[in-house]
Structure 1
């Protein structure tokens, strides 16, 4: 029997939208109807745009301020004194969401952003939302914004994240792994176009020569859709001097791309539409956020190195990824080049990490959503 799903995302970068639209595609492939709605458009006029602009400006120019906001509002660890919450902001979206639900008539509402989870949790707790809500948690470190006990189910990327969700809500949580488009699981560098681009880019003058175990490692540096990161050009320059080929993914930040183009040995790229193909040609991903690019690399068999994570949820996420054995967190003298070289070379280190990475994709969140729609309630969890 076909069901209807309302997926709630937020245009805060590209990661949450990527998850929401991938789930919508999977649900449609199963014969269901699915629509994606941006929670920022449910807020009073101008509020969503201001929230997005403020967040973007903060993470780009005042990352330490965002770290303080994360500690005060979102971190699960207790902070000194009373802690504010997102309840006032969530309350502003409640009536518009109920109007959207009445118009769309979904069988399940699916938040893929933490503010959405607060809105649905509040409404479910009061009995105002008449259908189940299943939160798809995209973070490795589950902060308290994701955790409202009114929601019926949390779908998480790891067992640790699921335990955190259960502990924080007292409600069911299951491990399905990250939600990643299928094209990342068997990536191909069509016609060798990416390999030719990488091989043809000149190294930095005086760069360290290739090692005996291989040529110049191609290292993707992730900066998200907004080109955000700490010391990006410094890291790229260090990798180039060490004999690597740093490929700086600048997202939509043309200024970052222009500045990086002046660095010898560094290959800056704008928004890449064929990221699976580029990952197939690359050797390692250096990541600072434990977000969608990182989990796409896990699917593609590309080792992930966490380095200089952004303050706030990115620090927590990079640390959780490393603790789970899915990545390496490289810090200190000689990093990230030392870890990059270790993982770029064929051998047990690389094999161990890529094997663990592939194993994290344990289930299909769309199948769990389908079951919830069919039952109208959360079925008992399997024995552990």
Structure 2
């Protein structure tokens, strides 16, 4: 597999950390194979600081008014009569055309749905000469990922492949989730130093509680539920939300951490991950061999993704507090734990995304 001489443009979005992390890891892999890779943020292609406004409004809704995001998601992202094209598409198109004119790529790869809309619309009108590939980063695919102008789709959830193919009429492939190599097989690592660094005792059964890079969701209540079980020590991951970390610093039981650079080492010490985003952190846990329990997912794509993961039997979805504690206890059974880990690990049996991209460049 060789990408020597291929010029690639990856369009991501700084909406949380997941899309950018996937884009960065994919770029690293492709560059290692010889490609000339450029990564841009689709929010920077929007005029009049609309990208900053879009990011800020989404951030505010997820943290302060999740019900509002749920309404918007149901009406505009998944309803049967939802618009198939985002109104932001035309606004970013002209800037993308100027970008590709300065550095013409052989292929454009989108890792965010607005980017997929922009590239697909230009491709359909014949204004984008490069092949346009959409690398879906959500486990559940909503309609705004699916512009038929794009040439092909790559999905981390094999179950979504038939639906995406039916809705777009384009080639669709399953790909292994794009995570950093450090996560693969890190479950066998020991880490007394890691436990000492975070203040955990050697015998503590640690349960990581993830809230994404923005620190969203009612994770304080989740931590209290885990702590009240008397069997587990909650390790609350506040991401880059310093306010949340300060607010939770007084938890009577458990550990409260900020952004973690060495998540593989931390995952290697944990009994389970309790997640509310159904995003990249889950896929990193799948790679690490760490069981995932979904509890009180964030609205919209978070809830749909959590349910899709549970249907695929790669996570356990806990609908209430009692189910959460029960799920954590059941993971102490070696056979149940191994079944869940094995099903999640099987996602990585699919071809790596870079292999799919380079195996057969499309022609239209």
Q: TM-score, normalised by structure 1?
A: 0.89
Match of 2:54 among 51, 56, 64: 51
Name the CA distance, whole Å, in 2 between partners of 1:238 and 1:32: 48
Name the CA distance, whole Å, in 2 between partners of 1:24 and 1:42: 19
Residue 265 of structure 1: aligned partner: 253
Residue 37 of structure 2: aligned partner: 34
Deviations 1:85-144 (A, max 9, x none): 553211101011011111121110000000000001111111110011110001111100
Contact 1:189–1:280 (Cα < 8 Å) also in 2: yes
Residue 347 of structure 1: aligned partner: 334
Residue 213 of structure 2: aligned partner: 225
Residue 106 of structure 1: aligned partner: 105
Name the CA distance, whole Å, in 1 between partners of 2:54 and 2:16: 12
Number of aligned residue pairs: give it: 358
Name the CA distance, whole Å, in 2 between partners of 1:33 and 1:192: 41
Q: TM-score, normalised by structure 2?
A: 0.94
Contact 1:260–1:267 (Cα < 8 Å) also in 2: no
Q: What is the Cα deviation at residue 249 of structure 1?
A: 0.5
Unaligned runs of 5+ in 2: none
Contact 1:284–1:340 (Cα < 8 Å) also in 2: yes
**Secondary structure at the residue paired with 2:207?**
strand
Name the CA distance, whole Å, in 1 between partners of 2:248 and 2:86: 41
Match of 1:72 among 56, 72, 75: 75
Name the CA distance, whole Å, in 1 between partners of 2:73 and 2:200: 43
Q: Does 1:22 align with 2:25?
A: yes
Deviations 1:180-219 (A, max 9, x none): 11110032757522233467459xxxxxxxxxxxx54211
Residue 116 of structure 1: aligned partner: 115
Contact 1:217–1:341 (Cα < 8 Å) also in 2: no
Residue 307 of structure 2: aligned partner: 319
Name the CA distance, whole Å, in 1 between partners of 2:37 and 2:301: 29
Q: 1:191 to 1:318 in 2, by over 3 A?
A: closer
Name the CA distance, whole Å, in 2 between partners of 1:131 and 1:83: 28
**Secondary structure at the residue paired with 1:88?**
coil
Residue 174 of structure 1: aligned partner: 173
Contact 1:198–1:218 (Cα < 8 Å) also in 2: no
Q: Compute the RMSD of aligned alpha carbons.
A: 1.7
Q: Does 1:330 align with 2:333?
A: no
Residue 156 of structure 1: aligned partner: 155
Contact 1:326–1:354 (Cα < 8 Å) also in 2: yes
Q: What is the Cα deviation at residue 285 of structure 1?
A: 0.4
Residue 363 of structure 2: aligned partner: 377
**Deviates further, 95-104 or 329-338:** 329-338
